[in-house]
Amino acid sequence: MPFLFNEEEIDRLAVEWRAYEMADILEEWIEDKTDNDNQSESTVYHPIDIYWRHIFSIKTSTGTSQFVVLTKLVKCLLSLSHGNAEVERGFSENQHLVSDERTSLSEQSINGLRATSAGIKFFADGKPHQVSITPSLLDSVKNAYSRYRTDQERQQQLQKEKEIADYAAKSAKNKDELLVEKELDLLEKQKLLQGELNNATRLLEEGDQRLKAAIDAKNFYEIETAGILIDSSKKKLMAINTEIVQNNDALNQLRKKFKK
């Protein structure tokens, strides 16, 4: 990236990225969820440029753009070619192989057709009548159905065993076990939140130190960079503290149920 950024910008990019990691990203920036007529929920994901447009619009407490260098980096990356020609060729081949009469084919059957087509292209330049009929090929054809039946029976057996195991596991869980499981989940979340709290606190301390050094050096660019780190850390700390309070309340309510 030396041809894109100078040393000051690279340092600020690291700060902006940490601020981005702590930013409150709204779910609606990523996707839209709507209810269908049949009461099922559908999800539509926004294009990546729409998502980053929302990120670029985030401001600092002073009203300036928070992600100046990150904006420059993302725009450069999005300008790079990232076509899906190889994937699109695969879809085109699937469309050619799976006709209207073959729509019920399983994924394994489609993969088999793709493998056969690829083999003909590789061994016979795409000409089926030039494929060499060897004894091993004839044996494979003769044994294909028996292998298919064996695989089907194995899949059915695995499915049956899974259903039995799921039913047994569900039946084994009584009320106390479910409460214990819920408590463990809340304790694990409490541990994760404490880690996030410690990390945000360290970033706030780093921001304060950078701000003090920048003021002493009268480096206004560094003052702005430190301000981004401080603002992001404070917002993250407020959000984490709220989550910790909610998690502790849920944990206390759960433990009351144990005493009943």
- Residue spans of the chain under pLDDT 50: none
Count of C-beta atoms within a 10 Å radius of residue 203: 22
pLDDT score recorded for residue 2: 63
pLDDT score recorded for residue 172: 62
Task: Tell me how long the chain is.
Answer: 260
CA distance 137 to 134: 5
pLDDT score recorded for residue 86: 73
pLDDT score recorded for residue 192: 92
Please list, residue by residue across 109-137, b when 16 or more beta carbons sit within 10 angstroms of its beta carbon and e when fewer do: eeeebeeeeeebeeeeeeeeeeeeeeeee
pLDDT score recorded for residue 151: 87
pLDDT score recorded for residue 259: 66
Q: Write out the two tokens for 1.
A: 């990236």
Which has the closest alpha carbon to 228: 49, 80, 30, 14? 14
Q: Write out the two tokens for 146.
A: 């028996």
Q: State how far Cα 1 lies from the chain centre.
A: 26
| Beta-carbon contacts of residue 183 (< 8 Å; ≥ 6 apart) | 251, 254, 255
| Beta-carbon contacts of residue 238 (< 8 Å; ≥ 6 apart) | none
- For the segment 28-69, what is each residue's pLDDT rounded down to a tens digit? 899 887 776 666 677 888 899 999 999 999 988 888 889 999
pLDDT score recorded for residue 173: 65
**132 three-class SS:** coil
pLDDT score recorded for residue 243: 92
